[in-house]
A and B are shown apart, each in its own frame.
Chain A
Amino acid sequence: DAKTTQPPSMDCAEGRAANLPCNHSTISGNEYVYWYRQIHSQGPQYIIHGLKNNETNEMASLIITEDRKSSTLILPHATLRDTAVYYCIVRPNTGGFKTIFGAGTRLFVKA
């Protein structure tokens, strides 16, 4: 499985958009980009995933570059409850059993 690189921490003002970058320059053609977040002492929660097209759901938007070597998770209106560690991972959509989770980005949303 490909590895990802994320900044260790970011700050965001409440109500503003939070843009979390992720580099995955060694991503394979069959690997999807997944985003999870982990609030302190809880299990990670799925946010969104995509292959090559931009995706949006009720939680966030995912922008993937055309060459698929990087992506950005966008939380359009960050709230204090969005303070968490955000993990960007890549894995095949089937048979991807050894998913690698790095240290992620710790997002601090400030009032």
Chain B
Amino acid sequence: DGGITQSPKYLFRKEGQNVTLSCEQNLNHDAMYWYRQDPGQGLRLIYYSQIVNDFQKGDIAEGYSVSREKKESFPLTVTSAQKNPTAFYLCASTSGTGLTGELFFGEGSRLTVL
């Protein structure tokens, strides 16, 4: 079945450590996104990528980095520069030029900084 796979589902990290969250999609979608969600809040856009080898900062990119070396993959690194990294992270994709414009989401990764 086509979809988006995020891993790990739960991750614990010590302060000062970088961590990388994986996002893989087999939907052949061009565009991929990373969102952050804090308790009781909506989704905030961290980074997005419209095509391979290109990505753009979203609203809260500071302390995060991404890469898009393959169409299927859009990993997010939470660096030690991110002051409050504990959150629920969601990856999404869309065909970009598709007729529906529907966003498909993964199941999320919950990061806790100890």
Contact = CB atoms under 8 A, between A and B. Distances in A.
Nearest to A97: B48
Contacts of B110: 41
Contact of B101 (A32, A44, A103, A104): A32
Contacts of A34: 101-103
Interface string B31-74: 10101000011111100101000001011000000000000000
A49 B108 CA distance: 23
Contacts of B96: 94-95, 97
B74 to A, nearest CB: 13
Nearest to B45: A98
Given A87-B42, A94-B96, A36 B108 contact: no
Interface residues of B, number: 33
A30 to B, nearest CB: 11
Interface string A39-82: 00111111001000000000000000000000000000000000
Interface residues of A, number: 25
Contact of B105 (A45, A49, A92, A102): A45
A95 B101 CA distance: 8
Contacts of A43: 4, 6, 90, 92, 105-108
Contacts of B101: 32, 34, 49, 91-94, 96
A92 B56 CA distance: 18
B45 A42 contact: no
Nearest to B4: A43
**Nearest 5 CB-CB pairs, A to B?**
A43-B105, A101-B43, A101-B42, A93-B101, A102-B42
Interface of B: 4, 6, 31, 33, 35, 40-45, 48, 50, 56, 58-59, 88, 90, 92, 96-108, 110
